[in-house]
Structure 1
């Protein structure tokens, strides 16, 4: 559990800072950034698997339908999530991405109850209700259906559920996920090149190198997340996720100069109180289930 928590914190801090990275390429279309992100992620993870000498495990996954199916599902979900997130950041919707990832933990709790038979206690249900109230306030204040937020929450929440079904080591699972969609990324990149529509390859050398490093920027938090998902309850993992949208919210206000209303500030206060209640309740449950020490 402790190791899983450390991996989760590392993943969510890195994800919270990603808008700073994608803003460097705001003149590159989202689809083109996504194709590079997938391709360079595949290269990075393939090199990692080669270094770990795990190609034998990779072959076993590719020949095992039961192991491959959840990875196909998770691959499609995370690809959709990436595309929506990149488009939203580079089109001035960073606060909406923050709301989406505030919604995700609530969805994780629901998915954990429905599919994994997780049973939150009363304190945890209270925390969920408080966070739900905060998110509802944000949605009402937003004034229209927040499709960006809902899409991000649904795709990443279901991705987390799919990862709970994956039994492979993190690097093997991620290589399979990127390998499933890398042909589409290469085809799209080739199409852009043939039509002379490619923007990325006209970037300065320093910017192009940074775009190539998107493979590492993508893969590292996913590797940490995969390790955390195998060691933590989905509901608890979801609440740790509030680290990422909080960092993103701060960036949207201080760096990207987006505006936030008083209602949104109140709603985020609800969410932070929910975090405190959830953490206290989880800690008390853990202490109650510890065996008595022998003196």
Structure 2
């Protein structure tokens, strides 16, 4: 099996775990979302720190958390991902996974827009059309339902800014996530202690709930590890395309498994988003191929300069 094939399988694995995670959180619907989030944060820290210890890389965590600016960026990243995690858990518990799937469909287009605004990245005509279609879809939902799809937008925006902050941090993904959950671990522990003192903690009340809460660490960590492995082996355009498995599975969970209402306004907005993503993906693939051809041309030219052909 080639490294590319391994990367594709790793990305599919990550996207499938993310896409089916609403089923897991549905089993914890009776547990307050803030308690679920606290367990997710704490057990993720235990899992990641354990992996780093096994790899002999805990020193990398100490090195990563140096300097006021870097710690500030890690703290902001921790805030973004915590809001994202909490809202996803909350939305699952109140039967709003249709909106979470929409949020993760919108995310790539939000990321493109943030890249243009914050990093002056150039957008082609097709990318602008994709962003405009996404904006139209959100407008139609807002007018049709009489309320802004705030869950979808907040998920997309927080994950978008999370990506921006990760781009600014010169730290590997596993070390970075460990540092993030380490910073918010005291708050998570405080929440868990408070629930325990109030006699309302779900942990330890039943074998089922305890096992599910303990599993929140591996369920959070495993797709991030697979994603990291995929990103090292395949192009980002391939990663981006395979990521759509996640919101697609979330959408199917919401409509097929959970029986959430799919209104006529959703039936208009979702196809618009899918068309926007198709346009964006095709443009990204073409851009990626053009970049590779240009790189190969440069390499070929360099080789000719070093080894000129004799007459």
Name the TM tier (shorter chain).
0.7 to 0.9
- Mark the CA change 1:7 to 1:173 in structure 2 (over 3 Å): closer, same or farther: farther
The corresponding residue for 1:253 is 255
Q: Which residue of 1 aligns with 2:210?
A: 208
> Which of the residues 72, 78, 85 maps onto 1:82?
85
Superposition RMSD in Å: 2.9
Query: Does the Cα contact within 8 Å between 1:67 and 1:166 map onto a contact in 2?
Result: yes
Q: TM-score, normalised by structure 2?
A: 0.83
The answer to whether the aligner puts 1:154 opposite 2:157 as a matched pair is: yes
Hey, what does 1:218 align to over in structure 2?
Answer: 220
**What TM-score comes out, normalization by structure 1 length?**
0.88
Structure 1, unaligned runs of 5 or more: none
Assess, with a 3 A threshold, how the Cα gap between structure 1 residues 167 and 223 changes in structure 2: closer, same or farther. Answer: farther
Question: Is 1:141–2:144 an aligned residue pair?
Answer: yes
Kept in 1, the 8 Å contact 2:8–2:230? The answer is yes
Q: Is the 8 A contact 2:106 2:273 kept in 1?
A: no
User: Hey, what does 2:188 align to over in structure 1?
Assistant: 185
List alignment gaps of at least 5 residues for structure 2: 301-311
Match of 2:61 in 1: 58
Please state whether the residue corresponding to 1:25 is helix, strand or coil.
coil
Q: How many residues align?
A: 293
| Cα shift at 1:191 | 1.1
Q: Larger C-alpha radius of gyration, 1 or 2? A: 2
Q: Distance in 2 between matches of 1:158 and 1:85?
A: 16
Question: For 1:122-163, what per-residue CA distance to the aligned partner results, in whole angstroms no more than 9, with x for missing partners?
Answer: 222222223332333233333212332232222211111111
Give the Cα separation in 2 of the matches to 1:183 and 1:55.
Answer: 19
* 1:278 and 2:275 matched: no
Q: SS of the counterpart of 1:27?
A: coil
2:309 maps to what in 1? none
Which runs of structure 1 show a deviation greater than 4 angstroms over 4 or more consecutive aligned residues? 2-10, 224-241
Q: 1:116 to 1:229 in 2, by over 3 A?
A: farther
2:26 is the alignment partner of 1:23: yes
